[in-house]
Structure 1
Amino acid sequence: MSDPASDPVGTPVGTVLRPAGEAHALHLDAVDPLPARRADFHLPPATAGGHAEVAYLAGNSLGLQPRATRAALEQELADWARLGVEGHVEAARPWKPYHEFLRGGAARLVGALPAETVVMNSLTVNLHLMMISFYRPTPERYAIVVEDSTFPSDSYAVQSQARLHGLDPAEAVIRLRPRPGEDCLRTEDVRDFLRTEGHRVALVLFGGVNYLTGELMDIPTITAAGRAAGAVVGWDLAHAVGNVPLRLHEWGVDWAAWCHYKYVNAGPGAVAGCFVHERHLADRSLPKLQGWWSSDPATRFAMGPDVDPVDTADAWQLSNPPILAMAPVLVSLRLFDEIGMAALRERSLRLTGYLAALLAAVCAEQPARVITPADPERRGCQLSVRVCGVAAEEVCARLRHEHGVIADARPPDVVRFAPVPLYCTHHDAWRAATALAAVLASAAGRTHDG
């Protein structure tokens, strides 16, 4: 049997490797069957650590800029300068139907039919638009179920939706917590809750990948349990899209919303996406907030006073698309189409498994522990480390300014590392783990001396 330290490509994911050093990390990159597409992205320069570029492991917060983005934006600006209003129909990519250019790529990325998918608005706006339609509480069935560590914006959104219906959020919003002493929510606990308490649940709304712990939720199992209980099941896929393969149509998800600025690399505040399962598309009894772009494009410019409805996800649109914000999304979706999520997932398993092994070695020596599930099937590429005796924000500041490594902090004590398979390398992972070990050892020595 081969030595895992000398035969890294064949190493089972999750095997604890000896931290064999920089040369070993470089070897892993040299033999990886799907090398990083690093040349397709702009890497920020490093100001520390003796490297030209940072080791960027914060793509779970904001993805890097694809080099092709500038040209796409310049094309739209040139068309605007040359054509003015006529760009709506005469631009290289006409603006009037522009969101259609994104539909296929977005649908493929989330495993949906094109008619089920639309790129529009921002994530929390889309969550609200979906809940206007799909959160319809009754005196008997009124609860919204979320994970206790749901992203704050989602928490604010569901509380405000409860108030909108005259309900007390303290009673209407149920927050499911991990078992005592555990960091992640078990699928069987969610399923058991829905089996016993589902009669009072109107909406289940979880994050596909938990933003704090990096746990990949069992989307098909939880969706099936929620629907069997009579609830509507929606998903916030902000940390899942572009990170893990998704099959929303096949899994029977009622609706989902996501952003494109993390793993999809479409820029800060990028236009978001939305999915509505086809079984709901022809249901015109669903309440919707509507606007100009909710209407059938064939009759939209007849300028009549009433919406001419369409039986696609476009029915949830409100306004004409922001072209300069959509161009980067189009560039990014094309890159995912070119490589494919299946291949990226395989690379992610290798890369994240390598970083997990290095972090395990660090945590064995330092006051820290990885809170992301060890099972590769229960995580994407994010690994969250809970540190002790030093603030997470200080750790991240020192990683950047002393070692040229960019991670991100979730106060008070979680540092998140995301070796994004599109542009991160094993060498980046090695740099991150080595830097973390140095920062934690320094902090521990400072505490001891103090």
Structure 2
Amino acid sequence: MRCMEIWSSRYPLESFENEASSDSQDSGGEFVGGSLKEGVFKEVEKQRLLLCSMFVEPYRSEVVYLIAARQRYRAFLFMLQRFAREFSSRFVPTSDILLMWLTHQSYPTVYFEDLRALAVEIDLLKVVTLSETLKEKEFEETKKLWDRAFNQPYEKAGGEVPFKLEGVTSIESPLYWEESGTDVNTKYRSMLPRFLLEACVFVRLKQRIRTLQKDMNRDFLRLQITRCHSELKLDKAFSNFTNDSWEKAWHFYCEFGTKGVMLEFRRHGGRCLRGSSLLDTVSFSWNDLLRADSLTLEKEISQQVNVVTSITPPVQAPYLLKCVPDRVTDNSGAMISDVILKINSYRPQEGRWLSRTVLDHAGRVCFVVRIRVGGGFWRRGSETPSAVKREDRIIEIREGSWSYVAGPIGRAPVQRRWWPLQRQRNLPNKVKLHGTFQQEMN
């Protein structure tokens, strides 16, 4: 009876029983109960959409990422247990720590026992929760505390700030992660999947740098990709870094096929020298980072700079295709050239087709697209080409790569599909590959 009295005083509109009896339900009670249930459902739906938008990236379901996130969550609880008494500001978890915290809360009994064993039940009240807007100063204080406890940068690839900072504009991810991370392309074998990862590079100067101040003004770090993109050179001067905090030097998305990144320690030349000299270099391999704890590695450059690189597990990304112009071809698919004439015993090539080559993200040929624009046999001399009527034009897509016979001269692949233009206007074909790549032929 005492419990019922306390419940009635605190929640006068709610029944003490799990299900109200039919005698006690009147029209007003039904309305209140219905509106309350509707409000609860709306709040649950709101939180569900919020969580889905915060953890939409497919790499968050990878086992390697979850293991690394669990290690950082344990470290966060240790930091909370050790410094909560002397820390006046609120603790701000990163997205990977927040994911583990919410997962831990989904098992209430185990969660309560773990908190009681760590004696952090009250300290968790200082942790920022969902849908809260916090000040940038609070996050900076949490980063300093993490650096003090573990001598590591608090942020990492896949572990950014999941909350809205007051006065700071959030940057959306440049990639569209809404689609599934599995390859739905089972039809076109010439198209190979593309895997992307997120990488972060943090830099901090050593406490005691042996170089002179004038040399520091000439020193800089250069980031390059191990494989491909040889022209990509991203420079950061030493003046951008400090010795009391970690600075995020580079944050980018990269394909797994690039193998890794290289960091070069360089120094600008004198007045007569416009280039720079290489003093030291270190490299980070994607495979080494995947095998490392928390997907993070730390290295030292020339005993002057500490560099920490972190990545996310590679996941399949949307296809990236590029169409480039190519040589004109004949009806058989051979390029118009004297080489082909010689192979065919100087028999004239019939028909003319404008050709385009479709390349994937690695520069491999996936398709050859051709459109018929001329007919008849063309010879050098007085003969004129015969244009093809619009209703007789054909778009042809051949799957595969060119078969080269001499240098850049070759033949289109054999496997083909073709559509008359008039039929395309009536029956548009839609091809959807992995969500974001959609081609409409009208």
TM-score under structure 1 normalisation? 0.20
> Which structure has the greater CA radius of gyration?
2
Q: Which has the higher strand share?
A: 2
> Whose relative contact order is higher, 1 or 2, with alpha carbons under 8 Å and at least 6 apart?
1
Q: Which has the higher helix share?
A: 1
TM-score under structure 2 normalisation? 0.20
